[in-house]
Amino acid sequence: MSSLLKRLKNEVLVLDGAMGTELHKKGLEVGECPEKLNLTHPEILTEIHRSYVEAGSDIIQTNTFGASRIKLDEYGLGEEVEVINRKAVELAKAAANSDTIIAASMGPTGKLLEPLGDLSFQKAYEIFAEQAQILEDAGVDVISIETMTDLQEVRAAVIAVKENTSLPIICHLTYEESLKTMTGTDPVTAVTVLEGLGVEVIGANCSMGPEGLLKIIETLGKNTSTYLSVEPNAGLPILDENNNTIFPMKASEMASYLKKFVDAGANIIGGCCGSTPEYIRLVAEQVKKLKPKSKNHQAETKLASRSKTVVIADNLPTRIIGERINPTGRKELSAELKEGKMNIVSQEATAQAKAGADILDVNVGVPKIDQVITIKQAITTVQNLVNLPICIDTTDAEVLEAALQTVVGKPLINSVNGEEESLNSVLPLAKKYGACVLGLTLDEDGIPKTAEGRLQVARKIVERALELGIKRENILIDALTLTASAQQEGVQETIKAIRLIKEELGVATVLGVSNISFGLPDRKKVNTAFLAMAIQAGLNAPILDPTIEEMKATLMASDILVNRDISSQRYLKAYGQNKEAEEKKDTKQKEKEVELNILTQIQQQVLTGDKDNISDNIKKALDDYSALDIINQALIPGIQEVGDKYDEGIYFLPQLMLGAEAMQNSFAILKPILEKEGSKENQGRIIMATVKGDVHDIGKNIVKIMLQNNGFEVIDLGKDIANETIISTALAKKAHIICLSALMTTTMPRMEEITAKLKESNSNIKVMVGGAVVTKDYADSIGAYYSDNAVEAVKTAKKLVSNS
């Protein structure tokens, strides 16, 4: 066992503080490569390392945060990746005491991985693998992955280190004020994915103060028994009047925080950006008095998407695996997949999520297509639309690996079985990618007739998985449904097998239920009865069609009866209203369902920015709907969803703009119709301008588009516009709001002048301001309203109009 893991059993260890700040203090210039100093100024590095060791760091981190080939390439140093990393390790070792643990720092590539960016998973994997191998060979004790914000990049880094070295991993994610990473991952989901991948120490570092970080560590501590590491700061250091670095937080206050971190479960404590050897000395003094708290979190079967964790357990509600993304027996879907189109996949994903699916099965098994490409496309499409974990439905190892690289989070592999070939190809992939795996109880001899026979296959699958290091909680078993009309005597064997598997193996169970009724009339009746029986026997996650109301109703009712739906909460929420209203709603909904189809499609196209095809659908929709209905029921909800995704950090400016383009193409068709109909309905009238003296207008234009797309009438006066022109136009046009943009501090005062002028003239026109230098404080001080970005501007404008 590595010395790190041995010591963590009884000790809270102290990590070092910031490297970058110290390097800058010693003369590194902005724009220079910090890792190049390993070669040019080795004495500086030794000195910094030494100062941390002397301050009490048990673990010091090498100056290799940006020493991956891709980062070094930015400075033309890619070819020196090996010498730079080796030298860094040598320098850290030279400064270390005999018991100092050397951690190799590995930071992000600086590029966004697919689907958010364009760096492929495989490429990122290769970059991390190269650096990790060099570092291990140079003799480090542990790899410390730091400051990660994209869950997909974390997966690539961790898998690369695990596959190519035998070093333990500390993996720090960076959280923001929202307690999520920049790309929307919460700490519980991070735990799910990192535990799945077998990371030895899970950590958090971030730029927020210790209060926020404490919340993160508390959440992590409640959800894992893995060791935790935290890099807080005592508030960022400031200079006093004599130019000495001081910490705003008193030592006593900091001590109480450090104790809280350890109480919450932290096993390693270091310092974040700005922290110095003096700070680490304070940490070491306090921390050495403390003992680590033991965490006894029960292992659970967990799946995750980028931003959501789903726990599968006997005391929790039965989870639905939505089965509809599967071309078997569905001609239209097959045809689309053949053409590489994802319209139906999108629709099925959203529909199933709405209907209450917890996990989505994705199967692209169409003969004679390139399933590797198709499954990547399908998974990306689904994960861009809904935040549910994915169940990858394929038995082809090549397709499976492509899917495992594409999927974000912790997926379920559907499936492995008792055949040697399957065990040998699927289980290693499940282990490598930290996924859960579903075992089907069949082998070379087919499906065993008896429950005992299936238990035996299940036992074999579980044993083989455990041997490979896959944890028991990551294994699920499907006892297989036979068709009642063909093998009636076999039905109870399945039910019995679920019971036996639960009792002996203690793993979660999955079952595809609809097969049971094949060949019988009115299949729902048989399906629901079988589902209830299986849940009673211990089924945790049926694979079914959640859009069939009867199935969902049976599932929810059964959950009450087996005491999984505590206080019948979920049932009451779904069926709490009186029955009559329910039925009315039901028929209404059914009517709507047919209708909604084309509108849903349009909404979807806004969401995916499909500007090329949206016009056709708008024209089609006009046969049945008024232009206004299309806007209010399809386009506006679509662009709002785009806005939400932007807020959550799932979408970025390009997706926002793509959605906006789809909107504009639609409006181009609808506007003339609206005008003909004389409809004047709009959210409100807005005058917009970049103030006098300022010529920057890209931000203003983006805000304008978003406002227009959300139904506002925008009169854009342009840039460099005189105060008088703005005010007189606003008054003449009876505007509700004036939106002003300024990029420079020198032109910002125009905003104040305009706001004051309006007040003088007793106008109730509201003023919204924005631009690089504009802050909320400034807006407040002049009596205007501030928005941080275009999505927020729409929200502010809506609020202002509805209040006036």
Residues that bind another protein (CB under 8 A): 18, 20-21, 24, 27-31, 110, 118, 149, 176-177, 182, 207-209, 236, 238, 273-274, 609, 653-654, 657-658, 660-661, 664-665, 668, 692-696, 698, 701-702, 705, 720, 744-747
Show the tokens assigned to 785.
């309203």
Q: In what order do the strands lie in the sheet with 101-106?
A: 13-14, 266-269, 227-231, 201-205, 169-174, 142-148, 101-106, 59-61
Single out the residue of 593, 701, 690, 716 nearest to residue 657, CA to CA: 701
CB of 455 to another protein, least distance (A): 52
Q: How far is the CB of 108 from another protein (least distance, A)?
A: 8
Angle at CA 365, nearest 5°, toward 360 and 369? Answer: 130
**Is the Cβ of residue 429 or residue 742 nearer to another protein in the bound state?**
742
Closer of 466 and 695 to another protein (Cβ): 695
Q: Cβ closer to another protein: 27 or 783?
A: 27
Q: Minimum distance between the CB of residue 4 and another protein, rounded to whole angstroms?
A: 25
* Nearest to another protein of 32, 629 (CB atom): 32
- Report the C-alpha gap between 584 and 425 in whole angstroms: 52
Which of 355, 744 has the CB closer to another protein? 744
Tokens of 352: 């199933």
CA distance 170 to 61: 11
Q: Please state the closest distance from residue 702 (CB atom) to another protein, in A.
A: 7
Q: Which two tokens stand for residue 502?
A: 């639960």
- Tell the smallest beta-carbon distance from residue 86 to another protein (Å): 24
- Nearest CA to 140 out of 97, 104, 168 is that of 104
Nearest distance, CB of residue 253 and another protein, angstroms: 19
Shortest Å, Cβ 419 to another protein:
44
The smaller minimum CB distance to another protein, of residues 146 and 393, is found at 146
Sheet containing 737-741: give its strands across.
Answer: 712-721, 684-691, 737-741, 766-770, 785-786
Which string of b and e fits 778-790 if b means at least 16 CB within 10 Å?
A: bbeebebbbbebb
Contacts of residue 446, defined as CB under 8 A and 6 or more positions apart, other chains included, come to none
469 phi-psi bin (left φ>0, alpha ψ -120 to 50, beta other): left
Task: Give me the least distance between CB of 723 and another protein, in Å please.
Answer: 13
**Least distance to another protein from the beta carbon of 645, Å?**
15
In whole angstroms, what is the distance from residue 544 CA to residue 358 CA?
11
Considering the complex, what minimum distance in angstroms separates the CB of residue 70 from another protein? 14
* Cβ proximity to another protein, 177 vs 445, nearer residue: 177
For another protein, which is the closer residue by CB, 425 or 701?
701
- Computed over its alpha carbons, how large is the radius of gyration of the chain? 30
* CA pair distance 728, 748, nearest whole angstrom: 20
Q: Closer to another protein by CB, 236 or 562: give it.
A: 236
Nearer to another protein, 431 or 611 (CB): 611
* Separation CA 753–CA 757 (nearest Å): 6
Residue closer to another protein by CB (options 305, 708) is 708
Nearer to another protein, 139 or 340 (CB): 340
The H or E element that residue 691 is part of is: strand 684-691
Q: Measure CA 450 to chain center.
A: 42
HSE at residue 695, side-chain half, CA atoms within 13 A, is: 0
Nearer to another protein, 310 or 656 (CB): 656
Reported residue count of the chain is 804
Least separation in angstroms between residue 110's CB and another protein is: 7
Q: How far is the CB of 298 from another protein (least distance, A)?
A: 34
The SS3 of residue 255 is helix
Closest CA to 234 of 216, 251, 212: 251
The distance of closest approach from Cβ of residue 34 to another protein in the complex, given in angstroms and rounded to an integer, is 9
The alpha-helical segments, DSSP class H, found in 147-305 are: 151-164, 187-196, 210-223, 251-263, 277-287
Nearer to another protein, 88 or 508 (CB): 88
Nearest one of 442, 507, 433, 456 to 477, comparing CA atoms: 507
Nearest CB to another protein, comparing residues 131 and 600: 131
Yes or no: say if 225 and 297 are a contact pair by the CB < 8 Å rule.
yes
Residue 311: strand pairing partners: 302
Cβ 63 to another protein, closest distance in Å? 13
Calculate the alpha carbon distances from 220 to 12, 260, 714 in Å.
17, 14, 47
d(CA 603, CA 426): 38
CA angle 29, 31, 34 (to 5 degrees): 70
Q: Which is nearer to another protein, 120 or 626 (CB)?
A: 120
Q: How far is Cα 442 from Cα 531, in angstroms, rounded to an integer? A: 21
Nearest-approach distance from CB 468 to another protein, in angstroms: 37
Distance, CA of 785 to CA of 794 (rounded, Å): 12
Q: E strand or H helix at 247, and its extent?
A: none
Structure tokens at 559: 């959950």
Residue type (1 letter), 688: M
Nearer to another protein, 208 or 362 (CB): 208
3-state secondary structure 640-681: HHHHHHHHCCCCCHHHHHHHHHHHHHHHHHHHHHHHHHCCCC
Amino acid symbol at 370: D
Cα 756 to Cα 272: distance, rounded to the nearest angstrom: 44
Tell me how far, at minimum, the Cβ of 693 lies from another protein, in Å. Answer: 3
Smallest gap, in angstroms, from Cβ of residue 73 to another protein? 15
Fill in the amino acid letter for 516. Answer: I
Q: In angstroms, give the least distance from the CB of 152 to another protein.
A: 15
Q: Which lies closer to another protein via its Cβ, residue 220 or residue 656?
A: 656
